[in-house]
Amino acid sequence: MNPSIQLFKSESFLQNNLKLFVNRCSENFDLPFHAHDFVEYSYVAEGKGFHHIGEDIIPVHKGMLFVIPVGVPHVFRPATSNASEHPLILYNCLFNSELIITLSVIIQEQEIGDHLNDLANNQIPYVSITDAGLRMEELMVKLYRESSVPSIIGSSTMLYTLVSQLVVTTYRQLYHELHDEQERPTDFEHILHYLDQHISERIRLNDLVRFSGWSEKHIGRMFLRYTGQTFGSYLQHLRIQKGCELLKSSQQKVSLIAEHVGYRDVDSFHAAFKKITGETPLVYRKKSRA
């Protein structure tokens, strides 16, 4: 493992007989980029920010759930350095292969069991889905409450049941999203590709109307449906994501990077970058190379 990536081990978190740990926390800039030898389900309950996972930087908001396999490095960062006023709140559910064996008694479907084992053996990439009906938030809150009270009769059974429901609900939504992905309109895929390829240009909603033949209203609905963001928000986050990649991978001046990702002046880039990442471009570059 890369020495700059800190390894979190099960014995530091899973200290009970259940081999399960659930918490609710406010993310900050202190936690290091890390991997772990357990599976983690992370749910964004409040706020906005970024999830640095593997080689990706993903803008996050309320309702997003991530399943992080064993060995995949990641860290969450709030959208602003003032975490007290604009906190990024997460629920986390951690467990290892020992609990997966226990859950196999409850979860009867072979494909879901295989999915859990693949997560534990780092055989599949991370999972990212949006909790459209807030069903996962409800399960996370119940898990947190049940795990927070002193052990009472039936608490083990209740926790195992809730974890099983979380795993199955996530797998069901993932399965449906994979099928929905195959049915996603090709034109919208082309729109996302168009934005990616023309990120250095001034892009307006009218440009997408001409490109796709859809109305502005329909394009707006498609962005909310498939990205969870408005067109303007998606474009701004895409520009900053590209800026982050260039700051890490190149020696270009910040002013030149700002032009490459579509900002006509460096001050606008600075303002948007700090609003979304909580840091200035130079501080971000320095930290990413530390």
SS3 sequence of the chain = CCCCCEEECHHHCCCCCCCEEEEEEECCCCCCCEEECCEEEEEEEECEEEEEECCEEEEEECCEEEEECCCCCEEEEECCCCCCCCCCEEEEEEECHHHHHHHCCCCCCHHHHHHHHHHHCCCCCCEEEECCCCHHHHHHHHHHHHHHCCCCCCHHHHHHHHHHHHHHHHHHHHHHHHHHHHHCCHHHHHHHHHHHHCCCCCCCHHHHHHHHCCCHHHHHHHHHHHHCCCHHHHHHHHHHHHHHHHHHHCCCCHHHHHHHCCCCCHHHHHHHHHHHHCCCHHHHHHHHCC
Q: How many other CB atoms sit within 10 Å of the CB of residue 126?
A: 18
Instruction: Please give the Cα distance from 81 to 88 (Å, whole number).
Output: 11
The pTM score is 0.63
Q: What Å distances lie between residue 65 and 50, 163, 253, 262, CA to CA?
A: 13, 14, 35, 30
Q: What is the dihedral of CA 46, 49, 53, 55, to 10 degrees?
A: 160
Question: What's the first-to-final CA gap in the chain, in angstroms?
Answer: 16
| pLDDT of amino acid 183 | 45
Beta pairing, strands 56-61 & 89-95: unpaired
Query: Once rounded to an integer, what is the mean pLDDT over residues 67-88?
Result: 89
Identify the residue with better confidence: 81 or 121.
121
Instruction: Please give the Cα distance from 263 to 235 (Å, whole number).
Output: 12
The model's confidence at residue 3, banded by pLDDT at 50, 70 and 90, is low
Instruction: Please write the tens of the pLDDT for every residue from 272-282.
Output: 999 888 889 99
Cβ proximity of 115 and 171 under 8 Å:
yes
Instruction: Please give the Cα distance from 177 to 180 (Å, whole number).
Output: 5
Instruction: Please write the tens of the pLDDT for every residue from 159-217.
Output: 999 999 999 999 988 876 555 555 455 568 888 989 999 999 999 998 888 888 788 88
Domains and CATH numbers, the chain: 6-182 (2.60.120.280), 186-288 (1.10.10.60)
